[in-house]
């Protein structure tokens, strides 16, 4: 090669005994993992610099030491048997496949390791080259991952059980509502069932969600209003219900409060806004504002309500509940009664509070 060293000459130079030995020595000493060479009697005959750093033994202390000295005492007896089995049928393989392996430092501390074994024949005897890697960080990451999985599984199970409990409560309210003859009692029981179902639906959504902290509020409202339309017998030919909720994800406390508000307001619309089979529309909209607050609007184009019912001390239990929930959200409520009824609530998402 003109102007340079021919490649063949480089290969021959690298293959010469002196250069090859020097290269091997540099690679051996600079390896990021501990490398330990063990003879057929299980004695350490060579280590690299990383072995000294990892185990705390100087090179002089390591030489001649039984390799079992680098293991926790509880594993040493078994390791002698495994070492002899390996020597009898040597092959490249990881040590302790499927097991969690541990090594022991000079100071007695233990740490998890991966070990790769490689048999090498030299001067008629069998040597074993062991590459040892400290996997403490990986094991800790795996433990954290398992702990997160167990926690998520537990939380999902809690949401599932809460949902089932609320469904039992809903059923318990349903039975007396079927036997009651007083219309007022029946109404109270049915409204109570509806509120319980709206809370149960939040827990069901969280149980089904990959995100255990927030729910897709659009999907939740769709399921909630579908249930309300079915409960109050409002068919699509009579009342059209539309929603505009895009990209809104709320935590459990905020979602339950908003769900109950929507439950009350939509129930009022379905029961009172369209008397005598009158057709109409109910609309629900949730918008995230630039200041990271939210605006919830529930409106209908029905006959409207008496303004006195929307004052500070409304007589309706549902309206009182809406007011209380708005206070819980630390929000503001505005009710408009022109051309139907529109309730607009602005609020910020509730932060988790430790109730203990």
- Residue 129 to residue 119: CA distance in whole angstroms: 6
Span 115-153, pLDDT tens digits: 888 888 777 778 888 899 999 999 999 888 888 778 777
Interior/surface letters 132-153, b for 16+ CB within 10 angstroms, e for the rest? bbbbeeebeeeeeeeeeeeeee
Q: Rounded to a whole number, what is the distance in angstroms from the first to the last CA of the chain?
A: 80
pLDDT recorded at residue 287: 93
Question: Of how many residues is the chain composed?
Answer: 356
Is the pTM higher than 0.85? Answer: no
- Structure tokens, 15: 């293959």
Structure tokens at 177: 């509502």
Render 151-186 in DSSP notation, one character per residue: HHHHHHHHHHHHHHHHHHHHHHHHHHHHH---HHHH
| 44-47/34-38 β-pairing | antiparallel
Q: Could you report the per-residue pLDDT of 48-64, keeping only the tens digit for each?
A: 999 999 999 999 999 99
Residue 355: what pLDDT? Answer: 46
pLDDT of residue 356: 47
- Looking at residue 18, what is its pLDDT? 56
pLDDT at 11: 42
Cα of 219 vs its chain's centroid, Å: 20
The CA-atom distances, in angstroms, between 337 and each of 10, 264, 301 are: 91, 17, 10
The tokens describing 250, both together, are: 């709320």
Low-confidence ranges of the chain (pLDDT < 70): 1-21, 87-98, 212, 234-236, 305-317, 352-356
């Amino acid at each position: 090669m003109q102007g340079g060293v021919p490649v063949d000459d480089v290969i021959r130079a690298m293959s010469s005994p002196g250069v090859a030995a020097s290269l091997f020595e540099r690679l051996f000493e600079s390896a990021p993992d501990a490398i330990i060479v063990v003879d057929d009697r299980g004695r350490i005959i060579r280590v690299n610099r990383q072995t000294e750093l990892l185990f705390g033994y100087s090179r002089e202390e390591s030489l001649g030491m039984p390799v079992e000295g680098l293991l926790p005492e509880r594993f040493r007896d078994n390791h002698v048997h495994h070492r002899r089995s390996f020597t009898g049928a040597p092959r490249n393989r990881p040590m302790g496949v499927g097991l969690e392996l541990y090594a022991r430092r000079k100071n007695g501390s233990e740490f998890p390791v991966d070990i790769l074994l490689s048999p090498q024949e030299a001067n008629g005897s069998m040597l074993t080259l062991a590459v040892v890697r400290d996997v403490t960080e990986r094991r800790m990451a795996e433990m954290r991952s398992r702990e997160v999985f167990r926690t998520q599984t537990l939380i999902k199970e809690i949401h599932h059980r809460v949902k089932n409990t609320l469904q039992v409560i809903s059923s318990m309210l349903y039975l007396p509502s079927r036997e009651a003859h007083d219309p007022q009692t029946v109404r109270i029981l049915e409204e109570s069932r509806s509120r319980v179902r709206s809370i149960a639906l939040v827990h069901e959504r969280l149980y089904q969600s990959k995100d255990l902290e927030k729910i897709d509020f659009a999907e939740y409202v769709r399921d909630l209003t579908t249930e309300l339309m079915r409960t109050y017998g409002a068919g699509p030919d009579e009342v059209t219900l539309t929603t505009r909720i895009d990209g809104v994800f709320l935590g459990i406390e905020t979602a339950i409060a908003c769900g109950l508000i929507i439950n009350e307001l939509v129930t009022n619309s379905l029961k009172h806004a369209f008397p005598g089979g009158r057709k109409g529309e109910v609309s629900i909209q949730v918008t995230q504002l630039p200041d990271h607050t939210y605006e919830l609007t529930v409106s209908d184009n029905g006959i409207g309500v008496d303004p006195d019912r929307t004052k500070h001390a409304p007589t309706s239990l549902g309206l009182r509940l809406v007011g209380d929930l708005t206070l819980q959200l630390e929000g503001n409520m505005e009710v408009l009664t022109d051309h139907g009824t529109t309730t607009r609530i602005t609020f910020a998402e509730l932060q988790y509070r430790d109730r203990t």
